Amino acid sequence: MFDKPIFILAKKTAFVLFFCTVALMITARVLNYRLMIDSQPEHSMYYRVGIGHIHHIDEFHRGDLIVFIPGHGEMAGMFMDRMTTKMVGGVPGDKLTVKDGVFSINGKEYGKMEILDRAVKYMHRDAKSFDREEIVPPGKLLVVGTEKVSFDSRYWGFLYQDSVIGDIAPIY
């Protein structure tokens, strides 16, 4: 019964798919690639699925999409030991300004901090305490989400560059 051409083709196809899947998994593991899926109810980035490449990054540029594991600072409580992705919004020497719930980088206004009310409650701070004008210090990054509901450097401060473990290529 299973020697008909359709069954032979199905067995060969299944074998090839299995072999390719195993080869792809081994290659991804050796080259330090990870499939990353954003399962949060509210997304902070425009993509939901990406391929993370875990490797050392020497130089950061505005617009880079990075993967990091926070270990210090105010963000640590919410994201401690979890791989997280954001976009680099500012590098050392850039100026962050937050005034009355509106933020700017190097004098260019990027918009309103949409979740300021929630950040006030979560962080037990007054809304005015978020107002500031700072220069991104050496060894740190200003990281932001691409979506309005992103909880990022605008709220919790700068990210240590040594927390960055790689970059990400969005696929969906």
Helix (H) or strand (E) holding 115, with range, is none
pLDDT of 142 strictly over 80: yes
Q: Are residues 27 and 53 in the same domain?
A: no
Q: Are residues 14 and 65 in the same domain?
A: no
Instruction: State if pTM tops 0.85.
Output: no
Q: Are residues 16 and 73 in the same domain?
A: no
Q: What is the pLDDT of residue 72?
A: 62
Q: Are residues 7 and 44 in the same domain?
A: no
SS3 48: coil
Q: What is the pLDDT of residue 49?
A: 92
More confident residue, 167 or 147: 167
pLDDT of 76 strictly over 60: no
Q: Are residues 82 and 24 in the same domain?
A: no
Q: Are residues 55 and 81 in the same domain?
A: yes
Residue 6's domain comprises 1-31
Could you tell me the CATH number of the domain that includes residue 103? Answer: 2.10.109.10
Number of structural domains in the chain: 2
Q: Are residues 17 and 87 in the same domain?
A: no
